[in-house]
Amino acid sequence: MPARTRRRYTEEFRREAVQLVRESAHPVAQVARDLGIPHNVCYRWTAQRAEAEELARVKRELTRVTQERGFLRRAATLFAKESR
């Protein structure tokens, strides 16, 4: 029995597949069938992309909040010095 090899997909193909899933009115399984890929792979790519986008959003928010905290610390220090 011949060994099965795993198909490799480019990052561009994965990105476009996820975009099709998001923009299409069709179910994920239908989009996967149209692209000739297993539906579970398409579901996984979509979930991974959503996680990556959420992580990027949280990192941006953390950066913003950290900057705001630094600003407020400096302002509090300045006001404390002025009130003496």
Residue 5 maps to a domain? no
Per-residue pLDDT for the chain (84 aa), expressed as one digit of tens each? 777 788 899 999 999 999 999 999 999 999 999 999 999 999 999 999 999 999 999 999 999 999 999 999 999 999 888 877
Residue 18 maps to a domain? yes
How far apart (Å, rounded) are the C-alpha atoms in residues 41 and 49? Answer: 12
| DSSP result, 62-83 | HHHHHHHHHHHHHHHHHHHHHT
Answer yes or no: pTM beyond 0.85.
no
Residue 3 maps to a domain? no
Residue 4 maps to a domain? no
Residue 43 confidence (pLDDT): 97
Residue 2 confidence (pLDDT): 74
> Which residue range forms the structural domain that includes residue 26?
11-82
The structural domain count of the chain equals 1
Residue 38 maps to a domain? yes
